Structure 1
Amino acid sequence: MSPIRKALPTLVCAATALAMSACSSSVDNNADPTAASATDISVDDGGCTKNHDAIAKAQQTLANNLYGIAAEQSDKGTNTNPDPKGAGDPITLTFSIEGLSHPFLVKQKQLAEEAAARNGVKINVVSANDDVNQQFNDLQTAIAQGTDALMMMPANTEGLGAVLSQAETAKIPYFFTQKGMLGVKPASQVLAPYANEGKMLGEWVVDHYKGRSDVNVAIISGIPGDASSDARVNAFALPLLRACTFNIVANQPGNYRRGDSEKAAQNMLSANPNVDLVVGANDEAALGGLSALQSAGRTGVDVVGMDGETDMFTAIKNGQALATVIHKPTAGIVVDEAVKYLRGEPVPEFKVLPEDLVTKETIDAGSAEPAF
């Protein structure tokens, strides 16, 4: 979730008139080269022929997306270390995290350190300070200096394959947490259900606006070119496109950061005076959108997001936002998996955690707690 800028890949833009949009082609570095081509996918447009092309493109993106594939394969296959450590051998893990500029990233660090202490192993957490080049350098340094295993939460995966080849040559197993990639050979990937989160929120939005037509939606997407943003935005958009009662009138990236998202929302709201709903690809984006609405004195515009952070809970409870989806941190689980693998126990190739939708009703009932 670092502010790395590339060309926005959101496929919904390609077939929808988007005022003030930043849509252009880009490479999805997590695409599956073996995935079916667009002509091989059965398009489910829900009977909405006007959105058929946009739906087909969104489906294709999700079919190639790591997080859709991971959800389908979760807990179905395992890997076992061919050269396990002894029961009493010390273990040192290196956790390369993209940065600590977001509260969720800070939570990941905390959980990883707690899990390492619980397992009786040493962990070195190395922050790349939101710099993808620094992260690659950090990984190369860890490989050169020696570590029993690498854990990674990458800001971006472009070019990461070369670094991972170095790890394989050094016989250092590696693991992905939250975000991952295809086309490499990690011991395990414990990933966030980005596609499922988007789908869950999109279906809830369709139900919430049932009976209304021409609902105008502005989307604040995440990092351009990032598979997590692609998964969330396209999976969210599909139910809306199939419902045939929503107009996605604008889409701009907010880089998963509140300040950038506020600026993106200001641009979209200025160009689209009739927006009914602002959607954030995460809660920081949604809260940035909320700030833009408040600064502009705009009322009657709904806001939804994804992550389940504390500030979003407060906004929902106060009636300033409608809903979010709990985004569960995974770093602690990956530490557990890494220790198991190093000790010779099988670990899942993919693991995806379940998601939970949060509204004012669930908060008031006390049945949901913030993710961070």
Structure 2
Amino acid sequence: MKIRAAIPTAVFATTLLIAGCSSSVNNNAETTDPASATPVEVDDGGCAKNRDQIASLQQDLAKNLYGIAAEQSGKGENTNPNPKPDGAPIKITFSVEGLSHPFLVKQKELAEAAAAEHGVEINVISANDDVNQQFNDIQNAIAQGTDALMMMPATTQGLDAVLKQAEAKQIPYFFTQKGMLGVDPVSQVLAPYANEGKQLGEWVVEHYKGQEDVNVAIISGIPGDQSSDARVNSFLLPLLRACTFNIVATQPGNYRRGDSEKAAQNMLAANPDVDLLFGANDEAALGGIAALTSSGRQGVDVVGLDGETDMFTAITNGQALATVIHKPTAGIVVDEIAEYMRGNPVPEYKVLDEDLVTRETIESGASQPAF
């Protein structure tokens, strides 16, 4: 357990220069964090021909926020050095990137429900998918005063400057779903991007067990985004270790169905022998299905990640094999804030377990859409 020292009260003169960026760019700054600098022992699974590629992917994951979070989940704790007495009011500000997606609305609902359960006040501020507005919202919350700051950022580029203002006012801050390296949050409860990819990859290896030369096309997410890298690299590792899969093509779909359909069309046209399409999220997988449908191509399996309703329908209809539920974390972070403000320890990193979805789990009633 680590007792966090009180933050110095000296005011930092911080001027925020917000770059012209969007949520479609890399949203997780790299750092020289000790965890990311640890040498990685290569596990090639006995597949010598893929050893170099496996080593590269392992090293990338060791520096990836979501790879680090998966490895460090539950291993460290932080405790508030200045807890509030029982009965004292607690005000939480939750800055969310927007509410234009059902998953984001779910985050808001879970945060508000958890706040009501703990008897704390929460102010949910939507940035309406505007990066500049979100940074301004966070700055305003810091200036006006709040007991704790909770964030699901569209981008973290430049956010460290804003967080120095929170530190100067001794406002503890927390990340939900998406996080950041190189700063000092109390806790980050992050989406299990690395675990999701790993579980799906291991399932794919088992599904194709006994088959040789399975050709795979990858519809990745946002180029340079660590969530996409975590999912894709963690998915690939089991396949490369199995030594029976060939990665024949990779193109980004930007986590969007239309872009992913175009990427799939390109890869399918150039590779007539693709056996499996992997989408870095369900929107990518559904874009792949659209490309297969429009081309009349048959005999290509599809898998994705997120567990959205349309993907459940595709799996039930036999258009896709599997997905993994992408769980919202906002309610858990509110739980942590309430605990932390009362003086109880909370984890530095927390990553939830993931649930694999197949036709069998849907038909049995064991799986429900995430959104």
Would you call these one fold, judging by a TM-score over 0.5? yes
Query: Do the aligned partners of 2:37 and 2:63 also contact (CA within 8 Å) in 1?
Result: no
**1:86-126 CA deviation, whole Å, 9 max, x = no partner?**
32222221111122233222211111121122222222222
- Give me the whole-angstrom Cα distance separating, in 2, the residues matched to 1:292 and 1:320: 12
Query: Do the aligned partners of 2:28 and 2:156 also contact (CA within 8 Å) in 1?
Result: no
- Give me the whole-angstrom Cα distance separating, in 2, the residues matched to 1:316 and 1:362: 10
Paired position in structure 2 for 1:165: 164
Alignment of 1:355-370 (within 5 A): 355-370=354-369
Query: Do the aligned partners of 1:58 and 1:238 also contact (CA within 8 Å) in 2?
Result: yes
- Give me the whole-angstrom Cα distance separating, in 2, the residues matched to 1:190 and 1:64: 18
- Give me the whole-angstrom Cα distance separating, in 2, the residues matched to 1:270 and 1:31: 39
Paired position in structure 2 for 1:44: 43
Paired position in structure 2 for 1:176: 175
Give the secondary-structure state (helix, strand or coil) at the position aligned to 2:34: coil
**1:182-201 CA deviation, whole Å, 9 max, x = no partner?**
22211111112211111110
Give the secondary-structure state (helix, strand or coil) at the position aligned to 1:79: strand
Query: Do the aligned partners of 1:31 and 1:66 also contact (CA within 8 Å) in 2?
Result: no
Paired position in structure 1 for 2:298: 299
Paired position in structure 1 for 2:268: 269
Alignment of 1:242-253 (within 5 A): 242-253=241-252
CA distance 1:358–1:247, change in 2 (3 Å): same
Q: Which runs of 5+ in 2 are unaligned?
A: 1-20
Deviation (angstroms), 1:331: 0.4
Deviation (angstroms), 1:135: 2.2
Paired position in structure 1 for 2:202: 203
Query: Do the aligned partners of 2:28 and 2:180 also contact (CA within 8 Å) in 1?
Result: no
Q: Which moved more, 1:27-36 or 1:280-289?
A: 27-36
Give the secondary-structure state (helix, strand or coil) at the position aligned to 2:43: coil
Paired position in structure 2 for 1:110: 109
Paired position in structure 2 for 1:79: 78
Give the secondary-structure state (helix, strand or coil) at the position aligned to 1:362: helix
- Give me the whole-angstrom Cα distance separating, in 2, the residues matched to 1:347 and 1:263: 44
- Give me the whole-angstrom Cα distance separating, in 2, the residues matched to 1:308 and 1:258: 15
- Give me the whole-angstrom Cα distance separating, in 1, the residues matched to 2:55 and 2:304: 24
- Give me the whole-angstrom Cα distance separating, in 1, the residues matched to 2:258 and 2:32: 33
Alignment of 1:306-325 (within 5 A): 306-325=305-324
Deviation (angstroms), 1:174: 0.4
- Give me the whole-angstrom Cα distance separating, in 1, the residues matched to 2:144 and 2:315: 47
Q: Which runs of 5+ in 1 are unaligned?
A: 8-26
Q: Which moved more, 1:326-335 or 1:29-38?
A: 29-38
Query: Do the aligned partners of 1:3 and 1:223 also contact (CA within 8 Å) in 2?
Result: no
CA distance 1:32–1:246, change in 2 (3 Å): farther
Paired position in structure 2 for 1:237: 236
- Give me the whole-angstrom Cα distance separating, in 2, the residues matched to 1:91 and 1:210: 54
Aligned residues: 351
Kindly provide the amino acid, as one letter, of the partner of residue 59 in structure 1. Answer: Q
Deviation (angstroms), 1:255: 2.3
CA distance 1:67–1:267, change in 2 (3 Å): same
CA distance 1:36–1:173, change in 2 (3 Å): closer
**1:49-103 CA deviation, whole Å, 9 max, x = no partner?**
3322211110001111222222222222221212222322222211111222332
Q: Structure 1 stretches (4+) deviating beyond 6 angstroms?
A: none
- Give me the whole-angstrom Cα distance separating, in 1, the residues matched to 2:66 and 2:36: 16
Deviation (angstroms), 1:28: 6.1
Query: Do the aligned partners of 1:152 and 1:176 also contact (CA within 8 Å) in 2?
Result: yes
Deviation (angstroms), 1:302: 0.8
Paired position in structure 1 for 2:215: 216
CA distance 1:31–1:102, change in 2 (3 Å): farther
Deviation (angstroms), 1:169: 0.5
TM-score (norm 1): 0.88
Query: Do the aligned partners of 1:116 and 1:335 also contact (CA within 8 Å) in 2?
Result: yes
CA distance 1:86–1:33, change in 2 (3 Å): closer
- Give me the whole-angstrom Cα distance separating, in 2, the residues matched to 1:35 and 1:92: 33
Deviation (angstroms), 1:350: 1.4
Q: Which moved more, 1:96-105 or 1:329-338?
A: 96-105
Deviation (angstroms), 1:312: 1.2
Paired position in structure 1 for 2:92: 93
CA distance 1:169–1:3, change in 2 (3 Å): closer
Kindly provide the amino acid, as one letter, of the partner of residue 240 in structure 2. Answer: L
**1:247-295 CA deviation, whole Å, 9 max, x = no partner?**
2122222222223322322232233232211111111221122122212
Q: Which moved more, 1:317-326 or 1:110-119?
A: 110-119
Query: Do the aligned partners of 2:22 and 2:131 also contact (CA within 8 Å) in 1?
Result: no
Give the secondary-structure state (helix, strand or coil) at the position aligned to 1:189: strand
1:34 aligns with 2:34: yes
- Give me the whole-angstrom Cα distance separating, in 1, the residues matched to 2:37 and 2:351: 25
Query: Do the aligned partners of 2:29 and 2:182 also contact (CA within 8 Å) in 1?
Result: no
- Give me the whole-angstrom Cα distance separating, in 2, the residues matched to 1:290 and 1:326: 19
TM-score (norm 2): 0.88
Query: Do the aligned partners of 1:4 and 1:223 also contact (CA within 8 Å) in 2?
Result: no
Kindly provide the amino acid, as one letter, of the partner of residue 29 in structure 2. Answer: N
Kindly provide the amino acid, as one letter, of the partner of residue 355 in structure 2. Answer: D
RMSD: 2.1
Give the secondary-structure state (helix, strand or coil) at the position aligned to 2:95: strand
Give the secondary-structure state (helix, strand or coil) at the position aligned to 2:166: helix
